[in-house]
Chains A and B, each alone.
Chain A
Amino acid sequence: MSITLDSKIPAGPLEDKWDEFKAHEKLVNPANKRKFKIIVVGTGLAGASAAATLAELGYQVDAFTFHDSPRRAHSIAAQGGINAAKNYKGDGDSVFRLFYDTVKGGDFRAREANVHRLAQVSVNIIDQMVAQGVPFAREYGGLLDNRSFGGAQVSRTFYARGQTGQQLLLGAYQQLARQIGQGGVKLYNRMELVDIVTVDGRAAGIVVRDLMTGEISSHSAHAVVLATGGYGNAFFLSTNAMACNVTAAWRAHRKGAAFANPCYTQIHPTCIPQADDFQSKLTLMSESLRNDGRVWVPKNPDDTRAAADIPEGERDYYLERIYPSFGNLAPRDIASRAAKRAVDNGQGVGPLKNGVYLDFADAISRLGQQTVKERYGNLFDMYERITGENPYEVPMRIYPASHYTMGGLWVDYELMTTVPGLYCAGEANFSDHGANRLGASALMQGLSDGYFVLPYTISNYLADWLNKPIPGTDHEAFKVAEQQASDRFRQYLSIGGTRSPDYFHRELGKIIWDYCGMERTEQGLEKALSEIPALYDEFQKDLRVTGTGDSLNQTLEKAGRVEDFFELGMLMCRDALVREESCGGHFRAEHQTEEGEALRNDDDFAHVTAWEWSGDPMAPVEHREELEYEVVQFQTRSYK
């Protein structure tokens, strides 16, 4: 069964497409909605908002999360803010400008229609979240405050201190909690999706493993929504939470969902540099710090003096130097690569010479310590807890780290994957950010998908299924999938090798980071594509999982996730290899301008690469969705 990529973009002028769709889609009447059951996997921004809204509409919703509470989803960790084209500042923002900035930020590799819709509903998101009680930052007059973020020349980012993701997720979680309390949503917590079940090519349900008891069971539904987040943890070290993984998306991929642009991963420029080998994760320092902090390294690679002792003339404020108009606010991919170049040059700072300075001395003398503290106090405290250094006195040290994944399950305009009835929302899909995501746009996309897109588009599919029977969990396909899942977990326990899942994950992550990280080369990717299978082989022979399968076993959980990362890792490298251009987060060293900037190839690569599972992780089948730009003109992205 081969897949076709039909993006189902509505006809008509760009700004009318979404209204056009809503005007003509099929609907399910209110009394019939409760006849439909929808499974939502994941309770992050995308999942919680989708589950709550679908339940409000009257659908029966079963929500699944492997966390103990929906509120813990990784969305909680987002710091900086959320974009919306409100133009409250009157600085020239508009839906079109947000749309344009996003397409440009994504290096012209995103689908115009999706991005435009995103910009359109962005204004509703802010209204909705305020109505739900999200305490966004305010000005003294009582109106909402905005800050500016990388990649934009207007202030359109709404924020709640350094905890915007937390406040938004709590808002969405509260709506979900309300539905759980009132019986609209059934919540299954500490349950991990371990397989997707399809019957006659359509999504029929899921197989889950109860993390507390190890029990494997099935759930059937009319439609399944995956909102399971990104796969940034493929790198082992990333800013993602420890449990983030690709399992749900990967299992869907194996059941026929195309995986799009896996090589588009975002490296965030402002993270605390790695301190040692045992490190389990990297911590993000919000991008908003770049509003007031200045990035520099010593001009002389051998400079070992303390930061304060290096005179102005011997410092290289490289972002301000190379990108005078955006300066320290250059987009993430550009800022990241510039930092990498400085460190590779030997100009790195810190004990391992693996960072660059983010200096607040100017800001402190201009604004006073008090103002700086008000703006960034909690981030400064966090930095001090982690590094033991006081950033009011010595500059912060930062370095890029894996942070976000633009790639994900391929979805059409209605957020449906190539498997009918299987939807994907939030970071888990590939939809709106092209090759690079602008800061503060992921929260926007997650909430847009969950609140304002899915609840509309899903009825277009469901309407045809009214009063038709769907396969129950006693269907053969469920039994097979359950059996396979329990065999898989039993297998991990029985290998009895010598190394923990974490060991393999760390080694895998190193390979992916080295060859499929900030800079990729054909040679390196080829190398990765031989090293990953070899390590995978070792994993299958030498894995050791202690404990049993019938009580809570975090080692066993991890083993399953690492296995999926192995297969994904191969796909990431494959994708990076075939995309012979540089764009956004994907930088192929062979394709750069003389000044070392990304060199896109619009003639050959203005498409989405969507991969089909063939049964062999090393031999996926490539499909392409050509990107047609009706409104936006290709441009060389310049932030100089």
Chain B
Amino acid sequence: MSQTLRRGPVSGTAVGRGAKRKPFLLDFYSTAVGKKYVMAITGIIGIGFVVSHMIGNLKVYIGTVTENGQEVYDIDIYGEFLRDILVPILPRTVFLWILRGVLIGAVLLHIHAAYGLTVMNRKARPVKYQSARDYEVANFASRTMRWTGIIVALFILWHLADLTWGWANPDFVRGEVYRNLDASLSRIPVAILYIVANIALGTHLFHGTWSLFQSMGWNNPRFNQWRKALAAGIATIVVVGNVSFPIMTLAGVIEFDDSVTSVHELHEDHEEASE
């Protein structure tokens, strides 16, 4: 893709092409259009996760419920529930790991494709315009996909360290989701981090959700006008929902109460009872 001027007659420009083909999936993935399909599909998985994750997290607002006569945080039960899906067809947490596997795979593929396309785009215009561009429709969201994506990626790592593994959270107690949340988001810098990251995510989704229809070739005059609205809707819901958590924590609406039974105890009780 170098900027050299080739001269001379042209002939046979289309012969010999495609003589050696890779396995068809790799072949598909090798082109930009193929990569965009992968980005879109992994993006859809991402959207699916983020939206359900957000909805699941809304359970913090339910606070406590009474289970086996004991007061427990609803969200903690939810956390346990996730680990119990498809038990006893599969052992505990196996299905969750499958989901995690899909997610990890999706994120890795998404990043790989994004990287590949970025390299390609850089090469496509090695010499930039020397005067100011005047964009008409390309918006902030579409032009910052790489940056919002990277912010989200870094956030995910930090977020796992914070709320899944607990490395970034001194008060972390495995399985006590409500406690961990409060402990983490009560720290003002962390709360800000969550807010910023989620706004970045929202921006990413604002362009991404619309864009994926194009990438997937889903185009129909009957619904085209709704694509932007849908994108704005999903981005807003995710941002509003997710940003509410740090804000409500700082505002004291989400506040961990020591007297509530932990799911672990509940579990132990439960297990004892059933024995």
Cβ of B11 within 8 Å of any chain A Cβ, yes or no, is: yes
Q: Is the Cβ of B10 less than 8 Å from the Cβ of A213? A: no
Q: Which of A184, A187, A212 contacts B10 (CB 8 A)?
A: A187
Q: Which of B5, B7, B9, B13 contacts A62 (CB 8 A)?
A: B9
Q: Which of B5, B7, B12 contacts A183 (CB 8 A)?
A: B12
The A interface, classified by DSSP as helix, strand, loop or mixed, is mixed
Question: Which B residues are in CB contact (< 8 Å) with A181?
Answer: 12-15
In the complex, A67 Cα to B9 Cα: how many Å? 13
Q: Which of B11, B14, B15 contacts A187 (CB 8 A)?
A: B11
Q: Is the Cβ of B11 less than 8 Å from the Cβ of A186? A: yes
Question: Which A residues are in CB contact (< 8 Å) with B13?
Answer: 180-181
**Minimal Cβ-Cβ distance residue in B for A178:** B14
B135-152 CB mask vs A (1 if < 8 Å, else 0) is 000000000000000000
Cβ of A557 within 8 Å of any chain B Cβ, yes or no, is: no
Q: Is the Cβ of A182 less than 8 Å from the Cβ of B14? A: yes
Question: Which A residues are in CB contact (< 8 Å) with B11?
Answer: 180, 183-187
B9-26 CB mask vs A (1 if < 8 Å, else 0) is 111111100000000000
In the complex, A62 Cα to B13 Cα: how many Å? 15
Question: Which B residues are in CB contact (< 8 Å) with A185?
Answer: 11
Cβ of A456 within 8 Å of any chain B Cβ, yes or no, is: no
Give the interface residue-count category, chain B. Answer: under 10
Give the interface residue-count category, chain A. Answer: 10 to 19
Q: Is the Cβ of B12 less than 8 Å from the Cβ of A187? A: no
- For the complex formed, measure the closest distance between the CB of A308 and the CB atoms of chain B, giving whole angstroms: 36
B189-219 CB mask vs A (1 if < 8 Å, else 0) is 0000000000000000000000000000000
Question: Which A residues are in CB contact (< 8 Å) with B9?
Answer: 62, 186-188
Cβ of A195 within 8 Å of any chain B Cβ, yes or no, is: no
Q: Is the Cβ of A212 less than 8 Å from the Cβ of B7? A: yes
**Minimal Cβ-Cβ distance residue in A for B8:** A188
- For the complex formed, measure the closest distance between the CB of B9 and the CB atoms of chain A, giving whole angstroms: 4
Cβ of A210 within 8 Å of any chain B Cβ, yes or no, is: yes
A158-202 CB mask vs B (1 if < 8 Å, else 0) is 000000000000000000000011111111110000000000000
Question: Which A residues are in CB contact (< 8 Å) with B15?
Answer: 181-183
Q: Is the Cβ of A213 less than 8 Å from the Cβ of B12? A: no
In the complex, A198 Cα to B13 Cα: how many Å? 32
Question: Which B residues are in CB contact (< 8 Å) with A186?
Answer: 9-11
Question: Which B residues are in CB contact (< 8 Å) with A189?
Answer: 10
Residues of chain B in range 94-148 having any CB-CB distance to chain A below 8 Å: none
**Minimal Cβ-Cβ distance residue in B for A64:** B9
Q: Which of A182, A188, A210, A212 contacts B12 (CB 8 A)?
A: A182
Question: Which B residues are in CB contact (< 8 Å) with A180?
Answer: 10-13
Question: Which A residues are in CB contact (< 8 Å) with B7?
Answer: 210, 212-213
Question: Which B residues are in CB contact (< 8 Å) with A188?
Answer: 9
In the complex, A290 Cα to B97 Cα: how many Å? 74
**Minimal Cβ-Cβ distance residue in A for B16:** A183
Question: Which B residues are in CB contact (< 8 Å) with A182?
Answer: 12, 14-15
In the complex, A131 Cα to B9 Cα: how many Å? 29
Question: Which A residues are in CB contact (< 8 Å) with B5?
Answer: 212
- The interface of chain A, by Cβ under 8 A from chain B, is 62, 180-189, 210, 212-213
Cβ-closest 3 pairs across A and B: A181-B14, A183-B12, A186-B11
Between-chain CB contacts (< 8 Å), 27 pairs: A62-B9, A180-B10, A180-B11, A180-B12, A180-B13, A181-B12, A181-B13, A181-B14, A181-B15, A182-B12, A182-B14, A182-B15, A183-B11, A183-B12, A184-B11, A185-B11, A186-B9, A186-B10, A186-B11, A187-B9, A187-B10, A187-B11, A188-B9, A210-B7, A212-B5, A212-B7, A213-B7
- The interface of chain B, by Cβ under 8 A from chain A, is 5, 7, 9-15
